[in-house]
Amino acid sequence: MTTSIALTIAGSDSSGGAGIQADLKTFAALGVYGASVITALTAQNTRGVTAIHDVPADFIAAQIDAVFTDLDVRAVKIGMLSQVAAIEAVADGLDRHAAHNVVLDPVMVATSGDRLLAANAVAALRARLIPRALVITPNLPEAAALLDRPVACDEAAMEAQARALLALGPQAVLIKGGHGKTRESVDLLVDAGGVTRLSAPRIATRNTHGTGCTLSSAIAAGLARGLDLASAARAAKAYVTDAIAGADVLEVGHGHGPLHHFHALWRD
């Protein structure tokens, strides 16, 4: 049996709903062995982020080297990188180990509204990491921030922004419509070959903490298992939709609760 291995490079969420914890839960739920490189520690719960402790860049590099020199990493998910030094350490590590199937989630703001990316780090993200990605997965506010444009309000504007992001160098862009107001939650996967529309019913719940982390790590899990990008994105969309639908049964915290990553495995 060949073990499919995916690596998450992201921040830790002390409440377990987002970041490294969400990524590892997603990998496990989807049959992939998960390794991790922690870039920051957050004091965080379902109500917000109260403190961030950044991991030194040299220690981020040491974690990357430890994983890649021993494990056969099939895909990499990148999440929270709050400082320029962390972005540079990760970019250099990806180059050093010729990493492939890189899924970059340009995390800027938590579900609670707390900022997770320093303002001066946006340019480094554009220049150092976006060109190294197989796919980037911005939500509507993140896409707008990366392009310094207004937030897209319809699918035509979403596609236009995705194409503008393609010009920054990734092979594909998955622009997520979860922040939209329509009855459907529509994501657009855009690459040189065209547009793939991914749609699901919008679910009425406040328990959406870690949705972006979960989607990007689910895509990485699919890639690690050998799926092509479009198939991995479709499977990830379906998994996240079901995890949101099952979120309310968990009753975790008093704010924006987490998704139910193990909705298909846990029994009442």
3-state secondary structure the chain: CCCCEEEEEEEEECCCCCHHHHHHHHHHHCCCEEEEEEEEEEEEECCEEEEEEECCHHHHHHHHHHHHCCCCCCEEEECCCCCHHHHHHHHHHHHHCCCCCEEECCCCECCCCCECCCHHHHHHHHHHHHHHCCEECCEHHHHHHHHCCCCCCCHHHHHHHHHHHHCCCCCEEEEECCCCCCCEEEEEEEECCEEEEEEEECCCCCCCECHHHHHHHHHHHHHHCCCCHHHHHHHHHHHHHHHHHCHHHCCCCCCCCECCCCCCCCCC
Verify whether residue 208 is a known catalytic residue.
Answer: yes
Residues 6+ apart with CB under 8 A from 268: none
pLDDT tops 70 at residue 268: no
Chain segment 49-68, per-residue pLDDT in tens: 899 999 999 999 999 999 99
pLDDT, tens digit, 9 for 90 and up, residues 184-206: 889 999 999 999 999 998 888 88
Question: Of the listed 137, 176, 177, 237, which one is catalytic?
Answer: 176
Report d(CA 19, CA 12) in Å as an integer.
5
| pLDDT top residue among 189 and 119 | 189
211 as an active site residue: the answer is yes
Which is the catalytic residue, given 17, 210, 246, 257?
A: 210
What is the topology classification, in CATH, of domain 5-138+212-249? Answer: UDP-N-acetylmuramoyl-L-alanine:D-glutamate ligase (3.40.1190)
* Residue 112: predicted pLDDT: 55
Q: Give the mean pLDDT of 9-22.
A: 96
What pLDDT is recorded for position 113?
A: 56
Could you tell me the two tokens for 186? 């529509």
pLDDT at 214 over 90: yes
Domain ranges of the chain: 5-138+212-249
Tell me which of 19, 212, 222, 257 is the catalytic residue. 212
| Band of residue 1 on the pLDDT scale cut at 50, 70, 90 | confident
- In the residue annotation, 237 being an active-site residue is answered as no
Q: Which of 19, 25, 42, 213 is catalytic?
A: 213
Q: To 5 degrees, how large is the angle CA 117–CA 248–CA 232?
A: 60
Q: How far apart are CA 256 and CA 251, in angstroms?
A: 10
Which pLDDT band, with edges at 50, 70 and 90, does 70 fall under? Answer: very high
Amino acid at residue number 108:
M
This prediction's pTM: 0.95
Query: Is position 77 annotated as part of the catalytic site?
Result: no
For the chain, the first-to-last Cα distance in angstroms comes to 31
- The residue from 42, 211, 214, 241 that is catalytic is 211
Residue 38: what pLDDT?
98
Asked whether 180 and 228 are in contact (CB, 8 A), the reply is no
In the annotation, is 196 catalytic? no
Can 25 be counted among the known catalytic residues?
no
